[in-house]
Amino acid sequence: MTTSEPTRRESNGTGDMSDMTMEDAAPRSAVVDRAKALSSIALLDRIFFHVTRAAAVIVLLILGGVIVSLFHGSMPAIKAFGFGFLFSEAWNPVTDKFGALPAIYGTLVTSIIAMLIAMPVGIGIATFLTELCPHALRRPIGIAIELLAGIPSIIYGIWGLFVFAPFVQTHVQPPLISLFGDVPVLSTLFAGPPYGIGLLTAGFILAIMVLPFIASISRDVFETVPPVLKEAAAGIGCTTWEMMRYVVLPYSRVGVIGGIMLGLGRALGETMAVTFVIGNAHKVSPSLLAPGTTISATIANEFTEAVGDLYTASLIELGLILFVITFIVLAIARYMLMRIEQKSA
């Protein structure tokens, strides 16, 4: 009896140790599996970080490559003309005399005309669609406006040359000439024979092209205004105009300005539609009815004819100038948005 009891105790103790080892093995395997899963997640996260960073770096490299290419290609013109290239009206490939002033002037004037027309019309369309339009018509009208943005620019150019320009020549320019003929400043802006094509016609075409961007974005940001704000304005007796002016526009002005700047960027860089209707004349005229040119139209018209190095470099420098103008406009827009956000905060 006495010898068998210790043996039984020893055997029981050995059995308990083996059971404890088997019980500890399961938690340890779970810990290992969890560590492997966390390591896999961390690896995927690092891969995602490096891929997204590479995408951002690629964008910067492409932008830097474009800038370097433009500078390198335009160096012969920069060395030959210097800053005088920006203020010269000359454009004579025979004598290798080139200047960018008419193209810069036409680009800025047509874009300003387009924005002066498209801004109020686009915001008005967005107001009508969000506040006044019957629900059954909102979707069809909205789709029709968005379809305008998908029409190729060359279609706008052909329509502008064969349909819109004759209409302007017959029904728009003669009344403007007779109406403002005796007004001191406006008589200069609307002087000359009614060609039909010119800066004013190009501005109208650009306004039609940028209108969908301004209207669509303004409509989208108007719809983000909380209904309680509109109901509060209506509750204190505000009209629709007062509600839009004092409630909706202040609340959504950042988005509206963003849409306007997007349209302005489109207007500055538009090529084919403007080329058809602007007249392509390398001269600066105070009259909006006179033919002119833009940077994009000049490059599109003459790049295939540029046979000399200086001629090609001058066209590339025009592209560099357009790049700088676009960058300045976007920088100003970004600064305005930052100021608005700071005031709102």
- The highest-level CATH class for domain 87-344 is mainly alpha
Q: How much is the average pLDDT of 9-36? A: 60
Q: Domain locations in the chain?
A: 1-82, 87-344
Give tens-digit pLDDT for 78-105. Answer: 999 988 999 999 898 888 899 999 999 9
Q: How many CB atoms lie within 10 A of CB 254?
A: 14
Q: How much is the average pLDDT of 9-35? A: 59
Question: What does the pLDDT read at residue 11?
Answer: 46
The answer to whether residues 192 and 287 touch, using CB atoms and an 8 Å cutoff, is yes
CA 344 to CA 193: how far, in whole Å?
50
pLDDT grade, residue 165 (50/70/90)? very high
Element (H, E) at 48: helix 4-81
- 150 by DSSP, 3-state: which? coil
Give tens-digit pLDDT for 138-154. Answer: 888 888 888 888 889 99
Closest-CA residue to 262 (of 213, 223, 303): 213
DSSP string, 189-253: HT-S---S-SHHHHHHHHHHHHHHHHHHHHHHHHTTS-HHHHHHHHHTT--HHHHIIIIIHHHHH
Give tens-digit pLDDT for 246-266. Answer: 999 888 888 888 889 888 988
pLDDT grade, residue 26 (50/70/90)? low
pTM of the predicted model, to two decimals? 0.83
Which amino acid is residue 124, in one-letter code?
G
- 99 by DSSP, 3-state: which? coil
Closest-CA residue to 194 (of 166, 160, 221): 166
